[in-house]
Amino acid sequence: MSGWLSGKRVRIEGVSPAIASALAAQDAAVDDSEDCDIWVHVAPPPAIRLAHELTHSEWRASLDIGLDRRFLGARDFAAQCRARGTGGAVLFVGAPEQALGADHAAAAGALGNLTKTLSVEWARDGIRVNSILTRDTGNTLGNLAAYLVSDYAAYVTGAVMGIDLDD
C-alpha cells in the first residue's frame, strides 16, 4: 500500500531521516509550514548524566526540551487545527524513560501522561495525540510513525508505544 498520507501536510520538528522518508513514501508533503495537518516532534537525546551529578539548570533544560517545548508546540498546533475547523495528528518521538538518566526519565514519564491527557481533551476536536518512545532510528520507527499519523490509525489516540531493538 502506498499513499496513506496523500494530500497531508506534515511538519517535523527535530531530526529523523527515517520518519521523514517514511512519510514522504506515503505521499505526505513534509515541510516547515506552520499550516499543517500533522505535527511530529522528535526530541534530541540529552547527554546521559547520573542524577547526583545534575545541576538544577541541566534538570530544567531536559524538562524544557523533553516536555515543555512539546506541550507548547502541540498546544499551538491544536489551536491552528481548531481555527481551521479540522482535526489533526500529533506525534511525540523520543527515547524511553529508562534510557538516558533521571532528568530524561522524568520528562519521558511526564510525556506519557501528557499524551494520554491531551488525547482525551482534544478528541472532541478530532486531534489525535500519540507517542513513540524508542532508541530505534530506522525503518521500523519511520513506518510506525507513518501509520500512527495516517487515517488508518484514526481510532488510535493516547497510545505510548515502544520499539524493541532486539527483534
Enumerate the domain spans of the chain: 9-161
Over residues 109-157, the pLDDT tens digits come to 899 999 999 999 999 999 999 999 888 888 999 999 999 999 999 999 9
Q: Which residue matches cell numbers 500500500?
A: 1
Local confidence band at 98 (pLDDT 50, 70, 90 cut-offs): low
Query: Of 7-16, 25-34, 127-136, 151-160, which gets the smallest average pLDDT?
Result: 25-34
Prediction pTM value: 0.91
CATH entry, 9-161, from 3.30.420.40, 3.20.20.210, 3.40.50.300, 3.40.50.720: 3.40.50.720
- Per-residue pLDDT band at 99 (split at 50, 70, 90): low
Whole-number Å distance between alpha carbons of 129 and 53: 34
Average pLDDT over residues 17-39: 88
* pLDDT value, residue 167: 47
Top pLDDT among 40 and 104 is at 40
Which pLDDT tens digit goes with each residue over 44-89? Answer: 776 778 888 989 998 898 889 889 999 999 999 999 999 999 999 9
Sign of the Cα torsion 165, 128, 5, 66 reads negative
Write a three-state SS string for 17-34: HHHHHHHHHCCCEECCCC
CA 106 to chain centre: 17
Question: Which SS3 state, helix, strand or coil, does residue 158 take?
Answer: coil
Which of 166 and 52 is assigned the larger pLDDT? 52
Q: What is the mean pLDDT of residues 94-119?
A: 86
Write out 76-102 in H/E/C secondary structure: HHHHHHHHHCCCEEEEEEECCCCCCCH
